[in-house]
Amino acid sequence: MSGRRTSWRLWAAVALATVLAVGLAAWAGRGGPEYSARLDPRNPGPDGAQAVAEVLADSGVTVEIVRSAEELAGAAPDGSTTVVVTSTDDLAPSATDRMLDDAASSDLLLVEPSYPTLRRVDPGTAGPVAVEDVEVRCASDSAELDFLRDVDLVVDVADAYPGAGCFTVEDGSLLAAVDADGHDAVRAFGGAEALTNEQVLRGDNAAVALRLLGPRDRLVWYVPDPTDATADEAVGLASLLPRALLPSLVLVLAAGIALVLWRGRRFGPLSTEPLPVVVRAAETARSRGRMYRRADDRAHAAAALRAAARRDLGERLGLPRTATAPEQARALAAALAARDAAETADTAEPRDERGLLALLADDAPPPATDQELLRLARELQHLTQLTQPSREDDRA
C-alpha cells in the first residue's frame, strides 16, 4: 500500500510540474507576434513590415490586409488600388492566375517573386540574379517611375530582374516591369530588405517604401496562403522525391530477392542427432587444453589449474568454502604449512607458507613459457597427492 501511495504522489508531482511549465511558457510568450512571416504587415520583428504598413496608414493610405485568394477577390481591387504581394513562395499556380484576374485593373507589385511565380506571370522571362551590397539611385527616364526619381536604395542582398526599370545594377533592375498577358502594370521589386522594420531607415529606404506602396489612396496587401492550392497542385511526398528513386528501389528489391534465393538454398536434408550427447570428461579436458595452447593463454590455463587444486585441497582438508579465491588460497596455504610442520617436526624442513601461497594464489605471476606451466601443473599435482589419505588410513 505504501508503494502505491508513493507512486501516485510521484505521478501527481510530474503532472503538476508539466502544467506549471506549460503555463509559464504561455505567460512568457504572451504578446508575441501573431504573424512571423517575412515582410508580413503585422510582423513587428526585424524581418517584418509592420512599420511600413503603419506609416502608410498614418499617411492617409487605406491599408487592407488579405490572406487568401478568396479575400483578395472580395477586396475587389480597382484602378485606384495598389496591390502588393509578399511571401510569393506560397503562391500556387492557380492562385497566381486568380490574382492576375482580380488585380487586372490595379497596379500590381510582386515583392521578390520566386522564379516559378515569375514564369507563371511572364513565361518568357529569365530568372532573377542575386546581388549584394547594393546602394543605387533610381535614375529612370520613364514618366511612370518619376515618383521614385533621385532616391537611394540601400540593401545588403537583393534580386535583380532582366530589363529596364528603376534601381538599375549591372545584372538588371531591382524594380522591373513584368510583361504579363492582359495586365499592363505589373512590377517585380527585388529590394525587399528596404521594406523590413530593420532596414527601412537605411539610406532613402523609407522614402522608397512609401512612394512605391503609397502612390494611390488604397493599398491591398496580399499575403498568400499555401492552402489556396488545388488538390493537383498540393505538394506531396511523391513530388519531392527524385524520379530515379522508384527504379532504384525496384532494382534493390530485385537484388535482395536474388540474394535470398542464392544464400537461402538448401544443400541437403538436415542431419539429426539424439540428445543429450554424452561427452567424456577427458575429451573435454583435452579440448580445452588444445584451445588454451592454440590461443597461447598460459595465464588462463594456470588459473584453471590453481582453481581445481584449491577446490580439491579444500575438500580433503575439510576447510570451509570462502567467498573469494584469495581468501581460499591464504587459508589453504596456512593449513598446509601447519600440517607439514606437524608431520615433519624433526625429519625434514616444512613447506614455507609464502611459497605455498605463491603456488595456489591467482595473483601470482603467470607462467611465461610452456615449461613453467608444466612445472606448475606438476607441483600442484604433487601437492594434491600429498594430502591424499594413505592406504593404512583407508583400511582403518
pLDDT for the residue numbered 267: 62
Q: How many residues does the chain have?
A: 396
**Residue 3 included in any domain:** no
User: Residue 122: left if φ>0, alpha if ψ -120 to 50, beta else—which one?
Assistant: beta
**Residue 172 included in any domain:** yes
| Same domain assignment for residues 150 and 297 | no
pLDDT (tens digit per residue) in 185-234: 889 999 999 999 999 999 899 999 999 998 899 999 999 988 887 766 65
Structural domain including 156 reads 50-228
If one counts the domains in the chain, the total is 2
| Same domain assignment for residues 216 and 286 | no
**Residue 41 included in any domain:** no
**Residue 14 included in any domain:** no
| Same domain assignment for residues 214 and 333 | no
Q: Which residues pair with 153 in a beta bridge?
A: 136
Cα separation, 239 vs 178, whole angstroms: 29
Cell of 187: 512590377
| Same domain assignment for residues 90 and 195 | yes
Quote the pTM value.
0.54
| Same domain assignment for residues 211 and 75 | yes
**Residue 321 included in any domain:** yes
| Same domain assignment for residues 168 and 315 | no
| Same domain assignment for residues 201 and 287 | no
Along the chain (396 residues), what's the average pLDDT of each consecutive run of 10 residues? 57 65 54 74 93 93 93 89 92 88 90 89 86 88 77 92 85 88 83 94 91 91 86 59 78 88 69 68 75 79 84 80 75 78 59 78 81 84 72 46
| Same domain assignment for residues 83 and 199 | yes
pLDDT for the residue numbered 395: 46
**Residue 396 included in any domain:** no
